[in-house]
Amino acid sequence: MTADFLQSLRSILPPKAILTGDEDKAPFETDWRQIHRHPAICVALPENTEQVAAIVKLCGTAGIAVVPQGGNTGLVAGGVPVPDRPQIVLSLKRMNKIRNVDPIGGSLIAEAGVTLLEVQQAAAAAAKMFPVSLAAEGTAQIGGAISTNAGGIQVLSYGSMRRQVLGLEVVLADGRIWNGLRSLRKDNTGFDLKQLFIGGEGLLGIITAASLALSPAILSRATALAGVASLDAALALFQNLRAQAGDAMTMCEFISASAMELSLAHINAGRRPLHAAAYVLVEFSAHTETASITAVMETAFEAGLTDAIATDVIIAQSERERADLIRIRETIPDAELSEGGAVKHDISVPIALIPQTIRAIEALIAEKFPDCRPNIFGHLGDGNLHVNIRPPPGAKLQSLEARKAAITSAIESIAMTRGGSFSAEHGIGQMRLAGMKAHKSEVELDLMRALKQALDPKRTLNPGKMLP
Ligand SMILES: Cc1cc2nc3c(=O)[nH]c(=O)nc-3n(C[C@H](O)[C@H](O)[C@H](O)COP(=O)(O)OP(=O)(O)OC[C@H]3O[C@@H](n4cnc5c(N)ncnc54)[C@H](O)[C@@H]3O)c2cc1C
């Protein structure tokens, strides 16, 4: 059967676009954290929408599942095969063209395999800005970012990926192509179908291209790292700065003392810029060329320092200094991975409850898992915390295997009892299925299953993900 299938696939794709060797397939079969791995029959690398459609149709007929994959930077192992039916990985990486840029309308059309960074660069070349920014942006692709509704460090001002999408081109599970690549700001003509595929994690269709809204270019910005004495002070600083800067505050990130340690240990010659109990990384941005943005930030921080909300602050004086500050935040996930990894969580709570949420988590770990080390950081400005629990010093991550479910369930409960979410920006994939079962209502799950049944009755697309 596999030989017949591969034979048929060769009538759609040239040989170089079908990977069957174990070594060639391995990077596509393994998730970013290198925890989940399962073999695929092959990796298919189409270069246009018609090829994607033909492959999906062939797989549907042959009873073979299709796992769509972008940059494979997802943190819930949603883009790699699972033990289910025989599967192929369909990588969108060769669909990497920007089809059109419309500077007047403020939009561009990118194929699914274009990276977030390439979209940012294309926007900049048109004197515009694409605001979704995250540490994996050089590898994460538009299709993957839309399918996970990715967030990142500027959600505070610009929203997550969902807010940037004007239209989509999607290959459906039966192989039909839906051309919904409209770039309109207004279009009330029935259900807004694109929303089904945004955050859909490849269960309802394969995104092959997207029309994306561009924002006005940022012409000046000021970036600062502040030290704070307590979690309450971090929240007060956020409130204080936000009140003064309003929408000009485009980033507000939280870095715990342990996350700072971890990051600096992995940055070459990474000297500690400040000493504090916790840190807040802030950016103000303006769409006009103005030197005063730094003055606005300095004034804003003066009040914070006077009121003893911030203990110390560094305001970047050059692009190089800005990059150094941002790097501290962006290095945390890689540093954690190279130190052996952690049991990861991606919770959100109402912003006002962040201090008490972190305190509850720290108390939980101290009481129930005292040998473990919490590594907490995240997007303070939108209520999203990455709560990662590292094994005891010198121990491997596998040593937490027996306690992993209990740790996760306790942390998710802390978020849920505060009106939060157990998965704020990474999605469900195969890693948060227990959370879906525990926390989603039967009504919500029924509705999701009904949509899956209507759009993909043969379960061709990404089985074993999202829906328990
Ligand atoms: C260092 C690091 C930092 C990160 N920081 C953030 C952050 O700040 N905010 C955040 O939200 N995420 C973050 N992530 C997670 C990740 O980068 C995002 O989820 C990203 O959007 C995934 O894009 P990708 O192209 O790598 O998708 P993949 O990992 O390849 O796939 C993700 C999911 O989308 C599906 N998919 C992929 N392409 C398509 C397509 N064309 N059509 C349909 N389904 C598709 C896959 O099947 C899978 O379910 C980070 C990851 C890393 C490694």
Whole-Å CA distances, 432 to 175, 214, 381, 403, 440: 29, 32, 24, 16, 11
Contact 461, 68 (CB under 8 A): yes
207 lines ligand 1 (CB under 6 A): yes
Alpha-helical (H) ranges within 96-154 are 116-125, 142-147
Burial annotation 418-436 (CB, 10 A radius, 16+ → b, else e): bebbbbbbbbbbbbbbebb
pLDDT at 370 over 90: yes
Report pLDDT for 292.
Answer: 83
CA angle (122, 123, 126) in 5-degree steps: 90
Going by alpha carbons, the residue nearest to atom 52 of ligand 1 is 136
pLDDT at 219 over 80: yes
% residues pLDDT > 90 (the chain): 92
pLDDT at 291 over 80: no
Q: Name the one residue in this structure whose structure tokens are 């949420």.
A: 357
Going by alpha carbons, the residue nearest to atom 16 of ligand 1 is 74
341 lines ligand 1 (CB under 6 A): no
465: left (phi over 0), alpha (psi -120 to 50) or beta: beta
- Mean pLDDT computed over 164-192: 97
Q: Strands 43-44 and 87-91, how do they pair?
A: parallel
DSSP 430: T
Whole-Å CA distances, 317 to 97, 285, 322, 325, 447: 36, 14, 7, 11, 52
Binned at pLDDT 50, 70 and 90, residue 307 comes out as confident
Contact 420, 351 (CB under 8 A): no
CA–CA gap between residue 249 and residue 238 (Å, rounded): 9
3-state class of 443 per DSSP?
helix
Residues paired with 228 in a beta bridge: 278, 310
Report pLDDT for 342.
Answer: 96
315 lines ligand 1 (CB under 6 A): no
Binned at pLDDT 50, 70 and 90, residue 305 comes out as confident
Burial annotation 398-409 (CB, 10 A radius, 16+ → b, else e): eebeebeeebbe
- Mean pLDDT computed over 367-392: 96
Report pLDDT for 289.
Answer: 77
pLDDT at 162 over 80: yes
Report pLDDT for 139.
Answer: 98
% residues pLDDT > 70 (the chain): 99
Report pLDDT for 69.
Answer: 98
- Mean pLDDT computed over 220-245: 94
pLDDT at 452 over 90: yes
201 lines ligand 1 (CB under 6 A): yes
Distance 229 CA to ligand 1 centre (A): 34
Distance 426 CA to ligand 1 centre (A): 7
Binned at pLDDT 50, 70 and 90, residue 22 comes out as very high
pLDDT at 208 over 80: yes
75 lines ligand 1 (CB under 6 A): yes
Weakest mean pLDDT among 222-236, 255-269, 293-307: 293-307
Report pLDDT for 288.
Answer: 82
Report pLDDT for 90.
Answer: 98
Whole-Å CA distances, 140 to 149, 196, 205, 448, 455: 12, 21, 19, 26, 26
Contact 255, 198 (CB under 8 A): no
Best of 38, 69, 255, 332 for a ligand 1 pocket test (most atoms within 8 Å of beta carbon): 69
pLDDT, tens digit (0-9, with 9 covering 90-100), for 267-284? 876 678 899 999 999 999
Whole-Å CA distances, 30 to 35, 293, 319, 323, 429: 7, 44, 36, 31, 13
Report pLDDT for 36.
Answer: 95
Binned at pLDDT 50, 70 and 90, residue 306 comes out as confident
Contact 20, 6 (CB under 8 A): yes
Contact 89, 40 (CB under 8 A): yes
Position in ligand 1 atom list of the atom nearest CA 333: 1
Report pLDDT for 158.
Answer: 95
Weakest mean pLDDT among 194-198, 311-315, 357-361, 442-446: 311-315
CA–CA gap between residue 318 and residue 357 (Å, rounded): 35
Going by alpha carbons, the residue nearest to atom 50 of ligand 1 is 136
Average pLDDT of the chain, as a whole number: 95
Best of 134, 154, 330 for a ligand 1 pocket test (most atoms within 8 Å of beta carbon): 134
Report pLDDT for 272.
Answer: 81
Report pLDDT for 303.
Answer: 79
- Mean pLDDT computed over 364-373: 96
Query: How many CB atoms sit inside 10 A of residue 78's CB?
Result: 30
Report pLDDT for 214.
Answer: 98
CA–CA gap between residue 105 and residue 107 (Å, rounded): 6
